[in-house]
Amino acid sequence: MANSDDPLSNTRLNWLRAAVLGANDGIVSVASIALGVAGATSHRGTIITAGIAGLAAGALSMAVGEYVSVSSQRDSERSYINQEKIRLKEDPEHELAGLARAYESKGLSAQTAQLVAKELSKDDALKAHLEAELNLDEEDLNNPWHAAIASLLSFTVGGVIPLLAILIVRQNLRVTITFIAVLAALSITGYLSAVVGDASRRRAVIRVVIGGALAMAATFAIGHLFKTTVG
Burial of 86 (0-12, 13-18, 19+ CB in 10 A): exposed
Burial of 1 (0-12, 13-18, 19+ CB in 10 A): middle
Residue 55 domain-assigned (yes or no): yes
Residue 175 domain-assigned (yes or no): yes
Q: Give the range of the structural domain holding residue 186, as residue numbers without chain letter.
A: 10-82+143-230
pTM for this model (two decimals): 0.75
Residue 3 domain-assigned (yes or no): no
Residue 96 domain-assigned (yes or no): no
Residue 95 domain-assigned (yes or no): no
For 122-171, write each residue's pLDDT tens digit: 878 888 888 887 777 777 777 888 888 988 999 999 999 999 988 888 88
For 157-183, write each residue's pLDDT tens digit: 999 999 998 888 888 888 899 999 999
Residue 22 domain-assigned (yes or no): yes
Instruction: Provide the domain count of the chain.
Output: 1
Residue 45 domain-assigned (yes or no): yes
pLDDT confidence bin for 31, thresholds 50/70/90? very high
pLDDT at 72 over 70: yes
Residue 122 domain-assigned (yes or no): no
